[in-house]
Amino acid sequence: MAYSVLIHLENEEAVLGEMEELPASTANFISVNNPRRRDGKDLPFIQANVTTVMWATHRVTYIEVVPGEAAEKLVTFVRES
């Protein structure tokens, strides 16, 4: 299951992308697929044909996990009499 994430880098704009798994607390780098701006446009500091980028974790301020369609479906349990 891929996670949609918004990655905040030091002194750069936030990057939207997908991660196959969330990084462990001991990770030295993160790997992001399909990196792009929030509006879907290409990032100016990455070549246009790049599909996967790896950043050192010391450059990452924080990562937001964006809820997907599956996460937005709320399952509740209702007792019917």
Of the candidates 66, 19, 17, 65, which has an alpha carbon nearest to the alpha carbon of residue 40?
Answer: 17
pLDDT confidence of residue 48: 85
Q: Three-class SS of residue 17? A: strand
In tens, the pLDDT along 2-55 reads 899 999 999 988 999 999 999 999 999 999 999 999 998 999 989 988 999 999
pLDDT category of residue 80 using cuts at 50, 70 and 90: low
3-72: CATH topology is: SH3 type barrels. (2.30.30)
pLDDT confidence of residue 26: 94
Average pLDDT rounded to a whole number, residues 53-73? 83
